[in-house]
A and B are shown apart, each in its own frame.
Chain A
Amino acid sequence: NAGVTQTPKFRVLKTGQSMTLLCAQDMNHEYMYWYRQDPGMGLRLIHYSVGEGTTAKGEVPDGYNVSRLKKQNFLLGLESAAPSQTSVYFCASSYEVGDADTDTQYFGPGTRLTVL
């Protein structure tokens, strides 16, 4: 099992450009999450999904959109990047139906995004 993978690992954008971050998991998890990590701020939830075809806003959703067309993939989009979106982005997944462990999240390696 690869677990949770993220593409790309690094990216540099100019202000106003758009991009999509891809997260994939092979653990048959129902729930998926996107976080951003900034110095001194811990991890903050951007958006999450409780199943294929569903998405919901987290703590800091502005400027981001997400889609979950397939159960194993969760995409994070930036339509018009801003310097304030410079951060490290982590994807996570959790909860396989029938598993007693319902709330442990498994994280990807992260994407470091710089917006100039």
Chain B
Amino acid sequence: GNSVTQMEGPVTLSEEAFLTINCTYTATGYPSLFWYVQYPGEGLQLLLKATKADDKGSNKGFEATYRKETTSFHLEKGSVQVSDSAVYFCALSAGGSNYKLTFGKGTLLTVNP
């Protein structure tokens, strides 16, 4: 079956530090890949997505590249802010008739001033 593995948290960084959150996946076919973000007390919001190999998703300074050869979709940001403190979820959609998402367990990021 499909699965997503993302790095264990929590991750604590100082403001302006570089961020990487690793995500690898197992899926048949050609899934779409997502990063969702959950701010404290809120629901999940789509951060970025990529639908095919070598695509780069980007939003709010975050980037992730769909690497089929390594089955990875690592999230990066060059300079994090306190406002980036949240839980980040990697997910995949294997398509088909219902577009279900398979989520990783989430990584808590805390950015200190």
A residues within 8 Å of B by Cβ? Answer: 4, 31, 33, 40-43, 45, 48, 50, 56, 58, 90, 92, 94-95, 102-110
User: Could you tell me the distance in whole angstroms from the C-beta of A1 to the nearest C-beta in chain B?
Assistant: 15
Find the B residue at minimum CB distance from A88: B43
Whether A41 and B101, one on each chain, are in contact in the complex, defined by CB atoms closer than 8 angstroms, is no
Beyond A95-B99, A105-B101, whether A90 also contacts B43 by CB under 8 A is: yes
Q: What is B's interface to A at a CB cutoff of 8 Å?
A: 32, 34, 36, 42-46, 49, 89, 93, 95, 97-101, 103-106
Q: How far is the CB of B52 from chain A (nearest CB, A)?
A: 13
- C-alpha spacing A97/B98, complex, angstroms: 13
Q: Are B98 and A48 in contact (CB under 8 A)?
A: yes
Count of chain A to chain B residue pairs whose CB atoms are closer than 8 Å in the complex? 52
What's the minimum C-beta distance from B86 to chain A, rounded to whole angstroms? Answer: 14
Taking a contact as CB atoms closer than 8 A, the residue among B32, B44, B105 that contacts A103 in the complex is: B32
On chain A, the residues within 8 Å of B103 by CB distance are 42-43
Q: What separation, in Å, do the CA atoms of A19 and B95 have in the docked complex?
A: 33
Give the docked Cα–Cα distance between A33 and B43 (Å). Answer: 14
B93 CB contacts on chain A under 8 angstroms? 103
Tell me the smallest distance from the CB of A38 to a CB of chain B, in Å: 10
Within 8 Å by CB of A110, from B43, B49, B105, lies B43
What is the distance, in angstroms, from A26's C-beta to the closest C-beta of chain B? Answer: 15
> CB distance B43 to A41 under 8 Å?
no
Do A104 and B43 contact each other (CB < 8 Å), given the known contacts A43-B89, A48-B100?
no
If the complex has contacts A50-B98, A56-B98, A94-B99, are A104 and B46 also in contact, measured as CB distance less than 8 A?
A: yes
The verdict on A102 contacting B99 (CB below 8 Å), with A42-B89, A42-B104, A42-B106 known, is yes
CA distance A63 to B93 in the complex (A): 26
Cβ distance A39 to chain B, nearest Cβ, rounded Å: 9
Which A residues are in CB contact (< 8 Å) with B105?
Answer: 40-42
